[in-house]
Amino acid sequence: MIYSSFEFIFLFFPIALFGYFSLKKIKKEMTGFWLLLVSLIFYGSWNAAFLPLLIFSTLFNWLVGRKIEKMREVKKKARSWLIIGIAFNLLFLSYYKYSSLLLDLLNTLFSTSIPYQLSDFPIGISFITFQQITYLVDLYSKKIEKHGDIFAFSLFVSFFPQLIAGPIVLYQELIPQLADKKKPNDFDLIAKGIFIFSIGLFKKVILADSLSYWVDLGFSNVEKLTFIEAWIVAFAYNFELYFDFSAYSDMAIGIGWILGIHLPLNFNSPLKADNIQEFWKRWHITFSRFIRNYLYIPLGGSAFGKLRHASATFFVFFLTGLWHGSGLTFILWGLVHGAAIIFYQFWKKTGVVLSKTTGIFTTFIFCSIARIIFRSETIFQMKGILHTMALGKGVSLPQYMNGVIALKGLSFNGVMPLFRKDILSLVSFLALSFILCFLCRNSNELSKQFIPNKRHLGFSLFLFMSSLFYLGKAKSFIYFAF
């Protein structure tokens, strides 16, 4: 059950809202229990077999948190429990995400044939794990003053709007809002939530899922791609991933607002970034915050000289790539971004400043190339597309130019033979993507200007009704795989 499905929009969410607002009227102290119940049902709807794992992980982390709070005055003991908690979470995550890689390595090294038993891993396991790690660390460092009760902590872990793919929320951001029983219903906030949810729904089912057709076609026919088609695939996937992931965040934030809960911003027009460092400040903001505060800074960050800083940056982006998957392409993608960050930081010291337009263009091109590495299932597939993008197959020219231009490496095989059947639709979606990403205000900016008037509500209705026609074809969100 995904946000962009009939089941969620017309069955689950209306029932969840009805129960929530009914209880707010008659017994406010029960609203938290209701949200916990529907959150567990939501998670179980994916695969009920993984629901006990979520409950076990939650209970274990809560018990560790209680030990950390009790041992706060005895620093060594509190630190020991923190290490136990972090180790458990990382082992739990690694077992489901990386055991296949480990088994492949063992089978190769020792010529064995140990079978891989797991066919799937718990959805949202990465985000659930990271969120619980933030709780333990913040409890240890006293950013959280008091260890929450089991129901508050369980709701923090499993709150359904951000359970599967973030935003990664801190305990101190979420629980005080959920615990505020005196807060009245804010109908302007509910209207704004519907508005931002409709934007996210449109981005997902109209834009991201439509662009995925050409992306999938290109990656399935690497050997047939021409120079122009290869670059179109790179641009299309850059847009697809942005629309897909930011759509989920918009919808999560919108659901939160409808419930009266503010979730943190997760995207802020990353494709408008004029350098790679700025890109990472705008892309998946809560994940970047987690990496910076709970990994990069503890590793030393930029506090111990250039070599330590470069090493920490490479290691952080290596882990970022590994978090997305155990394949070599994910790791390579992470290292490429790490190298780009380090290069940019050295570039700043030269004093050479690019214009904002040049910076945005350069960053977009780099990220589009890097997306090919990210999306490729194998090194062979990655090399095939990048080779074509680098003029490895020459440039395709229109037929009438063959007799005029006879340069080596230039030959005609159709400007876009693979995409010729849907060329008008392709150009339209790419043009719309460029306009929306580079010339228009983003969801956050639009929501700040939102007023519950006829114009905004009419716009919400238009986006929502347009999206309904595509709900039956809606794909799962890309980041559900991570």
Cβ density class 325-361: b for 16+ within 10 Å, e for less: bbbebbbbbbbbbbebbbebbeeeeeeeeeeeeebbe
Residues contacting 227, CB < 8 A, separation 6+: 388, 389, 391, 393, 394, 395, 396
Return d(Cα 351, Cα 357) in angstroms, integer: 18
Q: Tell me phi and psi for residue 397, to 5 degrees.
A: -120, 155
pTM to 2 decimals? 0.90
The ranges of the chain with pLDDT < 70 are 114-119, 181, 300-305, 394-417, 482
- In order of 133, 199, 278, the CA distances from 252 in angstroms are 21, 11, 24
CB count within 10 Å of CB 30 equals 15
Catalytic residue among 147, 284, 309, 324: 324
SS3 of 106-120: the string is HHHHHCCCCCCCCCC
Return d(Cα 158, Cα 154) in angstroms, integer: 6
| pLDDT for res 74 | 86
Q: Hey, what are 160's tokens? A: 């359904």
Cβ density class 301-321: b for 16+ within 10 Å, e for less: eeeeeeeebbebbbebbbbbb
| pLDDT for res 230 | 93
Catalytic site includes residue 324: yes
| pLDDT for res 196 | 96
CA 385 to chain centre: 24
Return d(Cα 15, Cα 27) in angstroms, integer: 17
User: Nearest Cα to 434, choosing from 271, 265, 321?
Assistant: 271
